[in-house]
A and B are shown apart, each in its own frame.
Chain A
Amino acid sequence: MIGSTNSRIVVTLARHEYRAAARNRVLAALVLVLVAITTVSVLIGAIDYHSQVADYQRYVAAARSSGVTQTAPLPLQVLSLLRGAFEYLEIIGAIIAIVLGYMSIARERTSNTLMLLQTRPITSMQRALGSALGALAIIATLLLVTGAIAVLCLGVIGGDWLAPPELLKLTLALLATIPYMGAFYCLGVVLTAHARSLSNGLMAALVIWLAVVLIIPQVGDTMDPDNQVPGGLFQSLGVDKPTELKVLAKFTTYEKVRNDLEEASLAKHYERFTFGMTDVKDKYRGFTLTHLLHEKRNDIAWLAAYMLVLGAALHRSYQRQPALPRGGTP
């Protein structure tokens, strides 16, 4: 009985969160931007793919007509065309999640309903769970739309409909977006709940987004010695691979610092996982799904850890929602 009342309240709060978010203009504008540019990105990829497949077919036909029987396989992977779409989810999806979290707190504060909620027989855990579930439902809807558009674009324009194994990998990549965006949602809630002024909370969350999503991965990339010289340092020195590895063995600390910096970034783990699932990296192309998931276990663990830690912080924020302003009517 208590369980059913409990879940009824959580569902009520989640539905409330979902509806409020769905009716919000700011969020609607952001989602529209994300869907539009993801579509553009997949469209560009699909046009590119379509034209490269045509080039490849011309090459095969020319080879056959000149009597060559062995031709190179098609060097393209259809899923890798979604790289741009996932990069947009990484950048804009995180902003959308932050705004969702911000709205969740701002709505109660600006409409003066916080007091009404706090005088109802509901616990802070129920409120935290309800709002998080509502937000996750919004994120899931968004991903469903984005995924459907991506599959359609690849099929209709690229002329290549995804096979079930590819669909499964795409689904897994989209599923990884839920903890990724969920972590940013929690960040938006936590910072807005603690900020004196609502917009300061939003801006603080955006500063963190800037650092985690854009700056840290970029710093890690630039620290790569091989990226310092056009064409790669070792290539410009004319050094073979064994010598390169011998040299690099002496710079393990530097490489560790660089790697640790990337490891600290939630965005980098999301990127590594989704790129692995969408065949962006050549080295994963021959892998079975089990092998791939095993290879990506570190990224999965990091995503889950971030989500859990920020989820706990979210619950704490609801528990310690600021006390009421002093006094009554001015």
Chain B
Amino acid sequence: MTNASPLDSAAIELDGLRHRYDMDDVLRGINLSIPRGEVFGFLGHNGSGKTTTVNILTTLIRPTAGSARVCGLDVEREPMRVRQLIGYLPSDIRMYDHMTALENLEFFARLSGVERPRSAALETLDYLDCADLAGKRVGTFSTGMRQRIGIAQAVLHKPVVLFLDEPTAGLDPSGVRHLRETIQRLNSELGVTIFMNTHQLSEVAKVCTSIGVLNHGELIYTDSIENTTARFPDEASLEGIYVRVEAGA
């Protein structure tokens, strides 16, 4: 599987993925496949294992058992190649406060092996409509501004898969709208596959093409948004569907 070309394989494949912290099973054998070009919403209550899944997929931690692949590359065996293909926006994104937005982006571009780091940083800022932030120190930024620079650092090396961990946390309504538009543009214009952990069901309905629901470390539901709304025709909102899925409907 690791020999498959990163361009042919599914964006994300989880096979019996397990993770254990101390004596606690956080992930209990997850199987999941997300094709290229999806915007996948990963739902679940606090402590259900969403962030642990993203941590494994972004090579930050190793799974206890099972496997995880990004574009066909095993995250344990080929972490360096995986890192070249992914972008990551952690929850509560913060960067080097003493550096300007441009300096921060240039630094991360160099570490990602981008050929012309400065122009890549400037182009990304321009693409995300935040060129005005380039010369300002990150320490002075609001949560919304940090989020925009955070996304810029996650996409400036043109990743194939983008992981967003609770990207709407702490954002005001206009910030949430801006983020939604950015996700849609990245997906439709650049073809980036997006994997998003979130609590904001209204945003999931607006931006995601498919969803998965995690409950106590088990994946209890996964399907496209279209199929989901068709399966629960009597529910007006995704919130109602989510409650029924969690309840085992």
Contacts and interface: CB of A to CB of B under 8 A. Distances in A.
Of the candidates B47, B60, B96, the one having the most CB atoms from chain A within 10 angstroms of its own CB is: B96
A196 to B, nearest CB: 16
A115 B60 contact: yes
A328 B50 contact: yes
A13 B112 CA distance: 12
B97 interface: yes
Interface string B51-94: 11011001111000000000000000000110110101011111
A23 B51 contact: no
B243 to A, nearest CB: 20
Interface stretch (A41-49, A116-124, A152-160, A163-171): A116-124
A5 interface: yes
Interface residues of A, number: 30
B95 A8 contact: no
Contact of B84 (A113, A121, A323): A121
B197 to A, nearest CB: 7
Contacts of B59: 118-119
B94 A328 contact: no
Contacts, number: 89
Contacts of B185: none
Contact of B83 (A24, A120, A330): A120
B130 interface: no
A112 interface: yes
A83 B229 CA distance: 81
A2 B132 CA distance: 36
A259 interface: no
A329 B166 contact: yes
A294 B52 CA distance: 57
A290 interface: no
Contacts of A327: 46-47, 51-52
Interface in B122-175: 153, 165-166, 169
Contacts of B55: 324
A57 to B, nearest CB: 54
A327 B50 CA distance: 8
A115 B169 CA distance: 18
A26 to B, nearest CB: 12
B107 interface: yes
B236 interface: no
Given A113-B95, A115-B88, A324 B166 contact: no
B169 A20 contact: no
A9 interface: yes
A16 to B, nearest CB: 6
Contacts of A119: 58-60, 83, 86, 88
A116 B113 contact: no
Contacts of B36: none
Nearest to B138: A111
Contacts of B113: 5, 9, 121
Given A5-B113, A107-B96, A112 B169 contact: no
A241 interface: no
B96 A328 contact: no
A118 B91 CA distance: 15
B108 interface: yes
B60 A328 contact: no
B230 interface: no
A5 B113 CA distance: 7
Contacts of A330: 46
Contacts of A122: 111
Interface string A110-154: 011101111111110000000000000000000000000000000
B96 A329 contact: no
Given A9-B111, A9-B113, A328-B46, 6 more contacts: A5-B113, A8-B110, A116-B108, A119-B86, A324-B60, A326-B26
